[in-house]
Amino acid sequence: MVLSNSVEKGIDFVDYRDICYYDKYQYRARFFLEGVRYTYWSKTEEEFLALLEPNSALPSWKKVRPKDKDKVSDNLENLLYFLNLRQDLKKTKTGYIRVEANRVSVFSNELEELHNLLSKFTNINCEFSKAETTGFEGVKYFKNEPPHNYRIYLKTRKYTDEEKSNLCDLLIKSNILFPSPALHKWLSKYPHWSGFHKWSSASHFIDYDDESSLTYLLLMSGKIFGKKYKLERRET
């Protein structure tokens, strides 16, 4: 996902999205934690330590692999703290943790508390991001399955040649943005001397499927866009 640099204290990046993380959390911290993938099978410190014991009754596929044992042992303090942190967040429901292989994402609405919790790890580098949501005007319903998931409209306003050229280049180079036929015609057909060339209609839109596309659009040409909608099939 394309992110923009942040000037906000405690934040490395601003992440422009349609919704907050998991539609709930404003802040996310990401970091690498060696051996964390083995915590999938453990809820307590005792259960995790059993994964390191070759003679434990646990199935072999749950145990720490011999080639990883030294790395996990060296990082044991961090891993045990991670287990307790995950359990605490589940109980208090003040955050959420996602693990992908050995990478961890922690989500929260309290930035200061998030920094405090993660400062207790040893020798890890965290990347903090803030979700900036632009919000939807609503949902557009279709009789059949819509062509894409989201739609953003251009503002009705007069455009410079440079703005049109930049937007045209952006759409040509992208395979994840889908301009409406009317927008495509406006960008490519009308000569520069035509009055139609200068003004865009609010009916011109771009469809997209992934939230990262919105981030890309807003970073490249944010001031020309207006309302945004989800696209859904109407249930009958």
Domain definitions of the chain by residue range: 4-132, 138-233
pTM strictly above 0.85: no
What per-residue confidence (pLDDT) applies to 5? 54
What per-residue confidence (pLDDT) applies to 222? 65
Residue appearing with tokens 């720490």? 64
Dihedral of CA atoms 129, 133, 134, 138 in degrees, nearest 10, equals: 150
What per-residue confidence (pLDDT) applies to 189? 64
Kindly state the percentage of the chain with pLDDT values over 90: 39
Do residues 88 and 8 make contact, with C-beta atoms less than 8 angstroms apart?
A: no
- Look up residue 20 and give its two tokens: 């907050």
Report d(CA 216, CA 5) in Å as an integer: 13
The per-residue pLDDT of the chain, averaged, comes to 85
pLDDT at 224 over 90: no
3-49 per-position pLDDT tens digit: 455 557 899 988 877 678 988 999 999 999 999 988 988 888 988 88
Do residues 73 and 29 make contact, with C-beta atoms less than 8 angstroms apart?
A: no
Do residues 32 and 75 make contact, with C-beta atoms less than 8 angstroms apart?
A: no
pLDDT at 194 over 50: no
| Number of other CB atoms surrounding residue 112 within 10 Å | 10
Report d(CA 104, CA 124) in Å as an integer: 11
Instruction: Enumerate the β-bridge partners of residue 140.
Output: 231
CA dist 166 to 16, 67, 80, 108, 220, Å?
Answer: 20, 52, 51, 37, 9
**pLDDT-derived band of residue 193, with 50, 70 and 90 as boundaries?**
very low
Do residues 126 and 30 make contact, with C-beta atoms less than 8 angstroms apart?
A: yes
81-125 per-position pLDDT tens digit: 999 999 999 999 999 999 999 999 999 999 999 999 999 999 999
How many alpha carbons lie under 13 Å from residue 125 in its C-beta half-sphere? Answer: 1
